[in-house]
Structure 1
Amino acid sequence: MPETTSLVQKQKDLAALIDRFSFGEGVHPTDIPSLYCLRSSQVTEPIYRVHEPALCIIAQGRKEVMLAEERYLYGPSDYLVVSVDLPVSGQVIEASSDVPYLCFRLDFNPGQIVELLEESELRSAQSGESKRGLFISQTSSSLLDAAIRLVRLLETPEDIQALAPMYIREILYRVLKGQQGDMLKQIAVEGSGAYRIKEVIERIKESYAQPLRIEELAELANMSPSSLHRHFKEVTAMSPLQYQKRIRLQEARRMLLSESADAADTAFQVGYESPSHFSRDYARMFGLPPIADMKRLRDAVAGRPGKEVLESATLML
């Protein structure tokens, strides 16, 4: 069987499995804690969230992901990897009721990458220049094989504890061996620029509502302020201040949607000193000021339960 034909068939097999374990629209946790099946039968609006480290394989449909001003398009012939926490937006751009968007998402953590590098003959990435914390690469037959075997375990739950860890290791190993494996390896190399930026990202996320002190972040990363800025932008495509602003605005939108909070109070809670400044930044990012944006979101999902509204607006990535 030609390689192209084999890949297409494996994509169809993976799509059928994802569809089977997706009970309706949205993001579906599975009996394998780090594995999710995603389904959408229609094109979506851009959905904003902080994407944690994960591998996403689209089996059917297409998606657009925006990281700052960078646009990433991927479909069944590609997979996407996010190696550090990044504020992004994702939009399903190809889906229908007959041919829904179907995606496999496997969350992972840097410790799993460290273990694989230590226990295999894979070389660690050089600790010089940092690389982007998000990339798209071409799907291989071996990666699809491992993904199919992992999802198929959901048919035999009694086998998950024994076999899922092995299949997950194989999946991550295939990514590390891929053409852009160094972009994932960098987060596991202690002392590398990307490794230190990961710690800075965690600090900003933990205290996003507090004033940003570049000198303290530079000290945490053991870098000069200028070096911190350069490495941070290489990994995240934005400056520390821009990263913090996106975290603040995304958290504000989540609060407004889930808690029916007042826009001015929300502005202060996420660290803004001026509600008018907050409203301007919010409109630049989401296209409308807070009140108008909330009305648009609620109108779009009118009649659906509150939890489903929240999941639709924050998880479908």
Structure 2
Amino acid sequence: MKKTLRQDEKNGGESVKRNRELKEVIGQFIRTDGTQETAIPGLRFIRTSKISEPVYSVYEPSLCIVAQGSKVVMLAKESFQYDPASYLTASVHLPIMVQVVEASPEIPYLSLQLQLDMNQVLDILQSSDQSWSSKSESRRGLVISRMGDSLLDAVLRLVLLLDTPQDIPVLSTGLNREIIYRLLQDGQNETLKHFALIGSQAQRIAKVIKRLNFTFDQPIRVEELAEEVRMSASSFYSYFKEVTGMSPIQYQKQLRLQEARRLLFIGELNAAEASFHVGYESPSHFSREYTRKFGLPPMQDLQRLRETL
């Protein structure tokens, strides 16, 4: 028992050390609040020195790790909170609301996001000696899991490549593959493999989600989407809602409203123009749904958003 306790203390100490190193690297790289792309493809750092207002975005397939602080992610009506003891995996594109809930000027929120290539996930699954079943039911496309030492170690080694930029083209691909392998090994995180396996229910839903992200401004019919992926309309509807927490129509609406808000914020279009651009036929209908989503009519929300930022 004493040996086991000593080993646990040693492992715990190593985790604390790795997390401290991760905080230091992120803190050195991004010194002001915001999001910063890095020289490592698909890797970005995020920093904020105060509790944030709710921010609406679309998560792409990615691994998200908090090095310091805490964040809440809302998917439909479901809430996910994670911190340095856990990590988030998004296996498909999902419209979400995020809010940093633990941060201060003295101890800023620090995190990273690493894009995941689902083709690479599938390649690693096929290369592994382990057997993976494609018959599992669809699951939520967003998962919070407990951080493991092996995963944290691999992520830290990838991030430390920023200290030796000449090594990035040679070593980053292998470390990316190791990170994906560690994610697939995690028994808490079965979802990622289901979305990669060709023919699985989750993978077929992911195919439709990918299409909706490119064609959200066009009318959709659930029966046609179901037929595309060779599912009955009722089964497709059920599995889609299991993955995203919302119906296909609700999912499309979230994409439309978030894109309209982005267009308004960057000043390219007025409210009526934005409504038509994202697929609404009636500006008044758009305004009602926008107000229901963001709490204020478009122009008032835009003014509040600019003042907040």
State the alpha-carbon separation in 2 of the partners of residues 120 and 12 from structure 1: 32
User: Structure 1: any 5+ residue segments left out of the alignment?
Assistant: 302-317
Match of 1:160 in 2: 168
Q: What is the aligned counterpart of 1:139 among 138, 147, 165?
A: 147
Is the 8 Å Cα contact of residues 155 and 179 (structure 2) preserved in structure 1?
Answer: yes
The alpha carbon displacement at 1:15 in A equals: 0.7
Deviations 1:166-208 (A, max 9, x none): 1111111111111233200011111111111111112212211
Question: What is the aligned residue count?
Answer: 301
Query: SS of 1:210's equivalent?
Result: coil
Identity %: 49
Quick check: 1:59 aligned with 2:59? no
Match of 1:13 in 2: 21
Structure-1-length-normalised TM-score: 0.92
Q: Return 174-183 or 238-247, whichever deviates more.
A: 174-183
State the alpha-carbon separation in 2 of the partners of residues 122 and 35 from structure 1: 28
Deviations 1:107-132 (A, max 9, x none): 01210101110111233243241011
Structure-2-length-normalised TM-score: 0.94
Deviations 1:38-84 (A, max 9, x none): 11111111111111000011010000000000000000100000000
Quick check: 1:211 aligned with 2:223? no
State the alpha-carbon separation in 2 of the partners of residues 164 and 116 from structure 1: 16
Is the 8 Å Cα contact of residues 33 and 48 (structure 2) preserved in structure 1?
Answer: yes
State the alpha-carbon separation in 2 of the partners of residues 32 and 75 from structure 1: 23
Is the 8 Å Cα contact of residues 125 and 182 (structure 1) preserved in structure 2?
Answer: no
State the alpha-carbon separation in 2 of the partners of residues 95 and 201 from structure 1: 33
In structure 1, give the amino acid aligned to 2:38.
Answer: T
Greater RCO, CA 8 A, separation 6+: 1
Is the 8 Å Cα contact of residues 127 and 189 (structure 1) preserved in structure 2?
Answer: no
Query: SS of 1:42's equivalent?
Result: coil
State the alpha-carbon separation in 1 of the partners of residues 236 and 168 from structure 2: 42
State the alpha-carbon separation in 2 of the partners of residues 32 and 182 from structure 1: 26
State the alpha-carbon separation in 1 of the partners of residues 160 and 64 from structure 2: 17
Match of 1:237 in 2: 245
Is the 8 Å Cα contact of residues 124 and 182 (structure 1) preserved in structure 2?
Answer: no
Is the 8 Å Cα contact of residues 130 and 193 (structure 1) preserved in structure 2?
Answer: yes
Is the 8 Å Cα contact of residues 134 and 199 (structure 2) preserved in structure 1?
Answer: no
Query: SS of 1:16's equivalent?
Result: helix
Match of 2:96 in 1: 88
State the alpha-carbon separation in 1 of the partners of residues 50 and 130 from structure 2: 41
Query: SS of 1:181's equivalent?
Result: coil
Match of 2:286 in 1: 278
Is the 8 Å Cα contact of residues 78 and 139 (structure 1) preserved in structure 2?
Answer: yes
Query: SS of 2:35's equivalent?
Result: strand
State the alpha-carbon separation in 2 of the partners of residues 187 and 87 from structure 1: 17
**Regions of 4+ moved over 6 Å:** none
Is the 8 Å Cα contact of residues 143 and 189 (structure 2) preserved in structure 1?
Answer: no
Is the 8 Å Cα contact of residues 68 and 110 (structure 2) preserved in structure 1?
Answer: yes
Match of 2:228 in 1: 220
The alpha carbon displacement at 1:286 in A equals: 1.1
Match of 1:254 in 2: 262
State the alpha-carbon separation in 2 of the partners of residues 135 and 124 from structure 1: 19
Q: What is the aligned counterpart of 1:188 among 196, 202, 210?
A: 196
The alpha carbon displacement at 1:23 in A equals: 4.1
State the alpha-carbon separation in 1 of the partners of residues 48 and 75 from structure 2: 22
The alpha carbon displacement at 1:260 in A equals: 4.5
Deviations 1:199-229 (A, max 9, x none): 1112212211111121210111111111110
Q: What is the aligned counterpart of 1:74 among 82, 92, 99?
A: 82
Q: What is the aligned counterpart of 2:30 among 18, 22, 32?
A: 22
Quick check: 1:106 aligned with 2:120? no
State the alpha-carbon separation in 1 of the partners of residues 131 and 245 from structure 2: 26
Q: Return 281-290 or 53-62, whichever deviates more.
A: 281-290
